[in-house]
Amino acid sequence: MKKIEHIGIAVKNLEKSNDLYSKLFNSSPYKMEEVASEGVKTSFFQVGESKIELLEASNENSAIAKFIAKKGEGVHHIAYDVEDIYAEMDRLRKEGFQLLNEQPKYGADNKLVCFIHPKSAGGVLIELCQERKEDQ
């Protein structure tokens, strides 16, 4: 794994949270994007070399809606940047981690992503992400 790509934070209201985080960072989100397949609306802030992703549920079946109902707003996942997501998924599967999707999915911010169940990862939801290449 190359680095922490971003930290995902679940929020109830993206607009309000954008205001809050804009004040915190003294900058605006550089990108807002809806990922319909995941039932989320996202915004991204650049913080130095790192990014913060805010996630709001766009429907009540979304994983973010369930997370907030259970735990409230807060840190939702940590995303690690990987060179080759297929190779990392194979490696981690063999190490006994429980992958939440068998194939990489299209995530926000032009990434291929795979999530690892928190139960197999010390209580933290992990996202692997790889920048999409032209043929992916």
Task: Provide the binding-site residues for Zn ion, judged by CB under 5 A.
Answer: 8, 53, 79, 127
CB of 115 to Zn ion, least distance (A): 9
* Separation of alpha carbons 41 and 57, rounded Å: 6
CB of 127 to Zn ion, least distance (A): 5
Q: Are 16 and 63 in contact (CB under 8 A)?
A: no
Nearer to Zn ion, 8 or 29 (CB): 8
Nearer to Zn ion, 24 or 75 (CB): 75
Nearer to Zn ion, 94 or 125 (CB): 125
Alpha helices in 27-119 (DSSP H): 63-71, 85-94
* 6: CB partners within 8 A, 6+ apart: 44, 50, 51, 52, 53, 79
CB of 6 to Zn ion, least distance (A): 6
